[in-house]
Amino acid sequence: MKARFAVLGLVISMLAASLAFATLDKTVFKCESKASAAVNKFGAARGKCIVKCAAANSKDPNSRVCPPTDPNDPEAGIDSTTSACIAAANTKYKASVSKACGGTMPACGTYLDSMTLLPRSSSDYADAQIASQGALIDGETLPFLLCDPDPNTPVNEAIKCESKTVATLAKLSGSVSKCLTKCDAKVLVKGAAGDCDPNSNLDASSLDTTTGGCVTAAIAKASASINKACSPLPACGAYLIGVDNLLGFVVAPIGQNYENPDANPYCDPNGP
């Protein structure tokens, strides 16, 4: 169970980090920050497609096919409406990465091809993200959030709660990433003072006052949103660990990415 919940955090958290060099080229930083923001939006959009499918099924169980039938192909077996929704999210994500980075990703870190150690094209990089994140979002993460509720809970109420949770967690990931990216822009690009390197739990105390306050506010807002939509929490899936722990699976992997250069979206092609 813990391993599956760890996957949950890795999927929803989606990227934000910084390295210990003084300044970073503005063009490189723009590519890296925009690509990180794009993957957050991609995850939110893809999750929304599955939520819509689940909502339709709550009214007519035979109307849609939401979960994939093949764990190695996250789009296998889903209905045409959901497939079209996911395809649109994929296309928008690829266009965002291409617009931010041009035809080639930075020659460093996670943007390198693991086999050739050469920078990936923006298209290849986006395709790899779609394949890996899509498989986790569709086949691993959302089943924990769109789970079978207590039979005494009306289906429409459960769907309302669960869909709000999916949207809130996706928004939280984006909000925390924005807090850290704003700090990184100041420190990495302008060379100003600031502490953008959180510990692995993303505790606010490990950040400067402004950034820590931004992260704390984002987490508090997400907690209030889920508690308002889900009272009580569904007695299934990820909800069994409680809201605070659920939020932790979103924000903690972001902090862990800061400690892992191989998972860090901010890197310098010219070296530290």
Residue 253 in any domain: the answer is yes
Q: Give the range among 18-27, 86-95, 206-215, 218-227 with minimum mean pLDDT.
A: 18-27
| Higher pLDDT among residues 41 and 272, named by residue | 41
Query: What number is the average pLDDT over the span 250-261?
Result: 75
Cα distances (angstroms) measured from residue 258 to each of 15, 23, 149, 177, 200: 9, 17, 36, 12, 8
Q: Are 173 and 13 in contact (CB under 8 A)?
A: yes
pLDDT in tens, 138-167: 766 777 888 865 555 555 667 888 888 988
Residue 165 in any domain: the answer is yes
| Higher pLDDT among residues 88 and 196, named by residue | 88
d(Cα 56, Cα 64) in Å, to the nearest integer? 7
Question: Across all residues in the chain, what is the average pLDDT?
Answer: 80
| Number of neighbours of residue 188 by Cβ within 10 angstroms | 27
pLDDT value, residue 93: 96
Residue 38 in any domain: the answer is yes
Residue 272 in any domain: the answer is no
Query: What number is the average pLDDT over the span 210-228?
Result: 94
State the pLDDT confidence band at 226, using cuts at 50, 70 and 90: very high
Q: Are 58 and 159 in contact (CB under 8 A)?
A: yes
pTM of the model: 0.80
Percent of the chain beyond pLDDT 90?
29
Report residue 1 CA to chain centroid gap.
20
Residue 269 in any domain: the answer is no
The count of structural domains within the chain is 1
3-state secondary structure of 271: coil
Residue 65 in any domain: the answer is yes
Residue 268 in any domain: the answer is no
DSSP assignment of 240-272:
GG-HHHHHHHHHHHHHHHHT-GGG-S---TT--
d(Cα 94, Cα 42) in Å, to the nearest integer? 9
| Higher pLDDT among residues 134 and 45, named by residue | 45
> Which residues 6+ apart lie within 8 Å of 25 measured at CB?
268, 269, 270
Residue 270 in any domain: the answer is no
Query: What does DSSP assign to residue 111?
Result: G
pLDDT value, residue 194: 78
For 43, the domain range is 2-263
